[in-house]
Amino acid sequence: MIPLPLTAPPGVVTADVLASDLGCFPTLEEYVPLVRSFKDDGFEMCVDLCAVDYLEHLDRPLPEGVSATRFEIVVNLLSLSKKQRVRIRVQAGNEEPRLDTLFDLYPGTEAMEREAFDLFGVLFSGHPDLTRILMPEDWEGHPLRKDYAVGKVPVQFKEAPGPR
Amino acid sequence: MSDPTIRVAERVDLLAAETSEGAQGLQPRKKTTTDELGREVGAVLRQSGLTLDPNDVDFERRDDETMIINMGPAHPSTHGVLRLMLELDGEFVLRTKPVIGYLHTGMEKTGEVLSYVQGGTNVTRMDYVSPIANELGYSMAVEKLLGIEVPTRAIWIRMMMSELNRVASHLVWLATNGMDLGATSMMIYGFRERELILAFFEKTAGLRMNLNYVRPGGVAADLPDGWEDDVLVICDTIYERTFEYDELLTGQPIFRGRMIGVAPITAEEALALGVTGPLLRSTGVPWDLRRSMPYLAYNEVEFDVIVGTFGDNFDRYAIRLNEIRESLRIVRQCIEKMPSGDYRSQDPKVTPPPRARIDESMEALIHHFKLFTEGFQVPAGEVYSAIESPRGELGCYLVADGGPKPYRIHVRAPSFVNMQAVPLLMRGGSVSDAITVISSVDPIMGEVDR
């Protein structure tokens, strides 16, 4: 178990027994400062950032004091020197989730945040280029959301001309 | 469609609108923000101002001095459907923007409607050059959630197969890299040697690629009779031939000229971008999950982690070539130390009953049927498990809700993240270097787009 970063507010950090990673549950305001304190603490790399849509599990068990929301952003940090991982789970909100970008701390989150935006519609304030990355530009909806109608929308690409 | 009454100029406008690139593409400098421009010129450590050259973000630079061109998505040297938009000043690359998504098939969405038993067939198609690595990452995540132990023999079989797969993957890289540099014979040699390994895969699992061999609970089948001899032949043949590659490539003046010093990256930049695998090790950071955070039985075998010094193309080549030798060393130790026993867990929850029992026992038949139709239930929870794939850290983030299907399956694909280093590596190089850059990053588009 690594020592907690000094600036981490009490109560946001719990140990994840299953994965033997450290799990953190900051609020939207605590999120970027917490990541910054981890970075100062020797977590050199942001390995992964992804979103989860908990539409069907809004009452899932979370540590005390954390209110579950529909969208969750999961950030995996890695410390090469300590050989330790930490997982940060942010409750991003129910409608129009928006959080601050990690781009200034870890430039490598650029593509991952774009992916989260593309597939889940999570917005990142301060991201340099928040456009769709995997889906076509004019795609409607965010396919990995649980209420996205799979198989019900006719697939159509941009302004496809009719038969010539 | 083509209405003769529309004048030519209007038709050009119409064509431009239909084929417009929109925000995903590379825009003229005046339409780009400083942040984005910095990104496109490959300035990574912008916040500390280390690599941002004021000349690069010159908004006043006239657009008619430069040219924005597309490379790909159907360019033979982009290894799939990667599309790069390059801003060129004559022969030199000023800005680069990778445009991806041409192979996006929604595999993470598909993964949510497949049971845990079927999931392996889905993930194995992501990185199609090293399918075993994907299956392993996925299976280890499921096993962690289930809390089941995998038999020792299964662990060693997994290790041997993933190392063989690493050799096969690096051989494809050597082959295509040689091809990109004009060493067409390397293409033939690389694929010739890889064929040996694929033939062994076929003998073991029934398929050459997309094996679905590593499954939650163990592996799909035991190794075939006489496997030791087959694997020894593979080891001996490929080990000898790596020295032929040395002769063919390593010492060649043309090859060296195009690789040494081209597209360097520093350790600081690599860490900031989150790149892993040979790309990170080429900068001298000895980070290999097999050694740093051992999984399977990697702490019981001897091997060296190969690191580079300069972070250039040649280092990445040397690392991959030497990793082939190290992997073969691990495979040899696997042959020696392969324990006997079960090749899959005997936990009836995840393992179907043996074929012979189905004929005589009704319960076994029902059990078999239930397992392959409904699948097994995985307790609720979330887990991130990471392994070292030939391209870097391959992570699988799995959220289970207690049902037979994953609630969310996210794969942290190494190529997807490594792709972000491309603008940095391209910067200031010529177009012919661009081809070696794509090659040395070694992206597999199936994994980038998923």
Q: Which residues of chain B neighbour A138 with C-beta distances below 8 Å? A: 22
User: How distant is the Cα of A85 from the closest Cα of chain B, in angstroms?
Assistant: 10
Q: Residue A107: which pLDDT band, with cuts at 50, 70 and 90?
A: confident
| Contact (CB<8Å) A131/B23 | yes
Chain Cα centroid distance, residue A112: 8
Q: Among A19, A52, A137, select the one facing B408 at the smallest CB separation.
A: A52
| Cβ-Cβ contacts under 8 Å for B295 (sequence gap 6 or more) | B140, B289, B385, B387
Q: Which residues of chain A neighbour B449 with C-beta distances below 8 Å? A: 134
Q: Among A46, A50, A137, select the one facing B274 at the smallest CB separation.
A: A46
Indicate the average pLDDT of chain A: 79
Question: What is the distance between the alpha carbons of residues B264 and B92, in angstroms, rounded to a whole number?
Answer: 16
Give SS3 for B114. Answer: coil
Q: Smallest Cα–Cα separation from B201: which of B216, B192, B191, B212? A: B212
Q: Among A83, A143, A158, select the one facing B293 at the smallest CB separation.
A: A83
Q: Does A91 touch chain B (CB under 8 A)?
A: no
Chain Cα centroid distance, residue B254: 28
- The residue range of the domain holding A137 is 1-164
Q: Which residues of chain A neighbour B419 with C-beta distances below 8 Å? A: 111
Residue A152: pLDDT above 80? no
| Tens of each residue's pLDDT in chain B, 450 residues | 455 555 666 666 666 665 555 667 777 777 777 777 777 777 666 544 444 555 555 555 666 677 888 887 877 777 778 888 888 888 888 888 888 888 888 899 888 889 998 888 999 998 889 999 999 999 999 998 888 889 999 999 999 999 999 999 999 999 998 888 888 888 899 999 999 999 999 999 988 888 889 999 889 888 999 899 999 999 999 999 999 988 888 888 888 888 888 888 888 888 988 899 999 999 989 999 998 888 888 989 999 999 988 888 999 999 999 999 999 999 999 999 999 988 888 888 888 888 888 888 888 888 888 888 888 888 888 888 899 999 999 999 999 888 889 999 999 999 999 998 888 888 878 888 888 888 888 888 888 888
- pLDDT at residue B82, as a whole number: 86
- The domain total for chain A is 1
Q: Which residues of chain A neighbour B275 with C-beta distances below 8 Å? A: 108
φ, ψ of residue B190 in degrees (nearest 5): -60, -45
- Angstrom distances, CA of residue A56 to CA of A59, A71, B406: 9, 11, 13
Q: Among B272, B410, B420, select the one facing A111 at the smallest CB separation.
A: B420
- pLDDT at residue B322, as a whole number: 93
Question: Which residue has 């899959």 as its token pair?
Answer: B344
- ipTM over the 0.95 cut-off: no
Contact criterion met (CB below 8 Å) for B219 and B213? yes
Q: Which residues of chain A neighbour B276 with C-beta distances below 8 Å? A: 47
User: How distant is the Cα of B314 from the closest Cα of chain A, in angstroms?
Assistant: 24
Contact criterion met (CB below 8 Å) for B221 and B153? no
Please, what sign has the CA dihedral across residues B333, B336, B339, B340? positive
Q: Which residues of chain A neighbour B386 with C-beta distances below 8 Å? A: 47, 85
Considering only CA atoms, give the Rg of chain A.
Answer: 18
Contact criterion met (CB below 8 Å) for A30 and A24? no
Write down the architecture of domain B107-411 according to CATH: Orthogonal Bundle (1.10)
Q: Which residues of chain A neighbour B393 with C-beta distances below 8 Å? A: 47
User: How distant is the Cα of B228 from the closest Cα of chain A, in angstroms?
Assistant: 35
| Contact (CB<8Å) A159/B274 | no
| Contact (CB<8Å) B449/A134 | yes
Q: Could you give the residue ranges of the DSSP H alpha helices within chain A? A: 28-40, 110-120
φ, ψ of residue A127 in degrees (nearest 5): -70, 135
Contact criterion met (CB below 8 Å) for A132 and A158? no
Count contacts between A and B (CB, < 8 Å): 124
B379 to chain A: nearest residue by CA? A18
Q: Which residues of chain B neighbour A48 with C-beta distances below 8 Å? A: 384, 395, 397, 410, 412
| Contact (CB<8Å) A47/B274 | yes
- Angstrom distances, CA of residue B152 to CA of B204, B337, B339, B347: 18, 11, 7, 14
Q: What CATH number has the domain bearing residue A38?
A: 3.30.460.80
- pLDDT at residue B326, as a whole number: 93
Contact criterion met (CB below 8 Å) for A128 and A143? no
Interface test with A, best of B52, B273, B276, B290 (most A CBs within 10 A): B273
Q: Where are the domains of chain B?
A: 8-99, 107-411
| Contact (CB<8Å) B271/A56 | no
- pLDDT at residue B352, as a whole number: 84
pLDDT, one tens digit per residue, over A44-71 is 899 999 999 988 888 887 777 788 888 9
Give SS3 for B270. Answer: helix
